[in-house]
């Protein structure tokens, strides 16, 4: 035991700096190899003609734009969302862009039986599944201590984690048959700590670790592409959700937010291109990676930076981003927020999902 402690003490001092030096010297070679691989797989990218792609959270935002990108590659589509009223227009747009067939299905991806239903219906109609694209997501912008109703926490975890796991669980046998691919919509918050995103960050961290483990378990029979994005138009300019008014808090799903414009469209295009190339990871924008070095080797710098940025704000604010309303300033003293349904409702969902 004493010997092992001594060995670990020596390695703690030697391995980190030695690894950084090795990485610095090998960086040009690794960049060259990655570029060659990118060119090779771009040239021999998967032909999506008449392939079958299932997209969850397809009613707007990133999911909608991904549907259009697959349609341009003439893939058959299955569009899934909790409400199908917007899917009719999206399906028509996809057909005009080149999709031979488009199915639309209303389903809640946090319910395993509904996931089984839309996967079975897809197999019944097309006979196969080639790509499963999970884009369902729900964000938040509140301080953890301000939400005194913990019933909201499982809902965030359900949509951001189980809403990806359940469709994957049901579709995995069919993806193995076609040697298909799973595409995951993750976020940089899975490893980069950002204030007011505690539950969201935890869910995304669980999501990424789940798919990294699954990648090893399937051992190449099914590909996994994890797309990690920073702040893009769907989140910050239109808002993940947030309407906070007195004791009432209403939520708006990220997958249902209207989001158009270059950042979202560009990210969707990059996701589909990465999927058909067979890439394991996609980062947008890629410069966020530099913070990972700070997270591992100098976490205090990130902490100091966030503390400094938060201190410059001077006071907390209630976010109305994405609702068309102005921001309300609040005292720096934390405000307790009761999350409950409006009084006109007799049932108890503590949060109301609005589309």
Residues annotated as catalytic (active site), given as ranges: 200
Strands 102-106 and 131-134: unpaired
Q: What is the DSSP letter of 46?
A: P
Report how far apart, in Å, the C-alpha atoms of 182 and of each of 244, 283, 340, 346 are: 35, 16, 36, 40
Cβ atoms of 72 and 100 closer than 8 Å? no
Edge-to-edge strands of the sheet including 243-245?
243-245, 248-252, 352-354
68 Cβ partners below 8 Å, 6+ apart?
93, 94, 97, 268
Angle made by CA atoms 232, 237, 243, in degrees to the nearest 5? 120
Cα–Cα–Cα angle for 326, 330, 335, nearest 5°? 125
Transcribe 97-123 into DSSP letters.
Answer: HT-S-EEEEE--TTSHHHHHHHHHHHH
Whether the Cβ atoms of residue 292 and residue 191 lie closer than 8 Å to each other: yes
Q: What whole-number distance in Å separates Cα of residue 137 and Cα of residue 232?
A: 14
248-252 and 328-329 strand pairing: unpaired
* DSSP tag of 287: G
Query: Distances in Å between the alpha carbon of 19 and those of 10, 12, 13, 216, 292?
Result: 14, 11, 11, 24, 14
User: Would you say 225 and 279 are in contact if contact means Cβ atoms under 8 Å apart?
Assistant: yes
Residue environment code for 63-98, b if the CB has 16+ CB neighbours within 10 A, otherwise e: bbbbbbbbbebebbbbbbbbebebbeebbeebeeee
């Amino acid at each position: 035991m004493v010997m092992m402690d001594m060995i670990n003490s020596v390695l703690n001092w030697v391995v980190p700096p030695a690894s950084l030096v090795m990485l610095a010297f090998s960086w040009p070679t690794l960049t060259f190899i990655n570029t060659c691989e990118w060119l090779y797989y771009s040239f021999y990218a998967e032909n999506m003609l008449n392939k079958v792609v299932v997209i969850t959270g397809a009613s707007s935002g990133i999911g909608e734009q991904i549907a259009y990108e697959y349609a341009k590659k003439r893939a058959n589509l299955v569009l899934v969302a909790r409400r199908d009223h917007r899917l009719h227009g999206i399906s028509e747009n996809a057909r005009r862009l080149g999709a031979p067939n488009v199915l639309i299905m209303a389903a809640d991806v946090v319910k395993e039986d509904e996931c089984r239903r839309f996967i079975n219906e897809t197999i019944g109609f097309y006979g196969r599944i080639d790509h499963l694209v999970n884009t369902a997501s729900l964000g938040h912008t509140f301080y953890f201590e301000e939400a005194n109703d913990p019933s909201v926490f499982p809902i965030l975890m359900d949509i951001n984690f189980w809403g990806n796991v359940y469709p994957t669980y049901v579709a995995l046998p069919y993806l193995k048959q076609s040697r298909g691919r799973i595409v995951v919509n993750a976020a940089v918050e899975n490893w980069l700590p950002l204030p007011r995103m505690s539950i969201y960050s935890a869910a995304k961290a669980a999501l990424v670790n789940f798919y990294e483990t699954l990648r090893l378990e399937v051992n190449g029979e099914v590909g996994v592409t994890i797309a990690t994005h920073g702040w893009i138009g769907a989140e910050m300019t239109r808002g993940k959700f947030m309407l906070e008014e007195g004791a009432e808090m209403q939520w708006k799903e990220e997958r249902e937010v209207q989001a158009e414009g270059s950042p979202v469209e560009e990210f969707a295009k990059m996701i589909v291109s990465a999927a058909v190339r067979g890439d394991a990871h996609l980062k947008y924008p890629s410069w966020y990676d530099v913070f990972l070095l700070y997270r591992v080797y100098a976490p205090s710098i990130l902490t100091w930076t966030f503390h400094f940025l938060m201190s410059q704000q001077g006071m907390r604010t209630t976010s109305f981003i994405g609702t068309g309303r102005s921001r309300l300033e609040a005292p720096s003293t934390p405000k307790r927020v009761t999350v409950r349904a409006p009084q006109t409702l007799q049932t108890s969902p503590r949060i109301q999902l609005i589309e």
